[in-house]
Amino acid sequence: MKTHTYDRMKAPVIRPEAYSPEGIEGLESFQGADAGFRDFLPEENRLGNLLGIGDDPVVEEILRGALLNPIREMTFNRGKRVRAHLVHLGYRIVDEGATPSVTAIRQCRSCAEVVELIHAGSLVVDDIEDGSHIRRGRPALHVRFGLPIALNAGNWLYFWPFQMLKELQLPSDQLLFLYEYYQQTLLRAHFGQALDLGARVDTLPQDRVRNACVASMKLKTG
């Protein structure tokens, strides 16, 4: 539960180095921190078709300055990528040592980035709610670009992974399962954040601290 306003979270975000799917030799090349993020952002030359507005250099320039560039700058801050490692580890456990296909490797990488993107969005919003000015030794996104742009970027990071999952080309039943689980995770996390914001451990009666903290942690641990 919150007891201060400085930067309290040291969890990982996304490293921006690109990778070449053609050069993949196996999942050994995917070790979380070495995965690329840049390839998972929307390509600017695709924005027109993606948004149904046609190609417009003016629109692309505005979106680049108000959304894509702030997100790229944020992700330059290297993290441990614990969540991406967990996705990779889970795949290896389920796969039981079989040699993965190139498609499977790409899907694993995409899913790892989905988790990292959701987490990155939560960090942006969390810094705003906490009044934190620093994120991993650099100005927080709302300090660097202002609160409106940062808040919009943080929310966008919740939505864009839905498109990433769609592009995995999974069977419809699997995609529906992922969408439902994704929605449930976001819903629980926001309830957990409400608990975190709504109570301070130094003001709660002692007999209520444990239940409030445990519930918040369970809901926020996606």
Q: Which residues contact 179 (CB under 8 A, 6 or more apart)?
A: 162, 165
Q: What is the pTM assigned to this prediction?
A: 0.77
pLDDT of residue 161: 93
Q: Please check whether residue 107 is in contact with residue 174, taking contact to mean a CB–CB distance below 8 angstroms.
A: no
* Encoded tokens for 214: 């445990």
Burial code (b: 16+ CB inside 10 Å, e: under 16) for 149-168 equals bbeebbebbbebbeebbeee
DSSP-assigned beta bridge partners for residue 135: 138
Tell me the two tokens of residue 47: 């924005």
pLDDT tens digit string along 71-107?
988 877 767 788 888 998 988 888 777 787 888 888 8
- pLDDT value, residue 39: 64
pLDDT of residue 91: 87
**Mean of the per-residue pLDDT values for the chain?**
80
Residues of the chain with pLDDT under 50: 3-35
Give yes or no for a contact between 85 and 114, defined as CB atoms under 8 angstroms apart: no
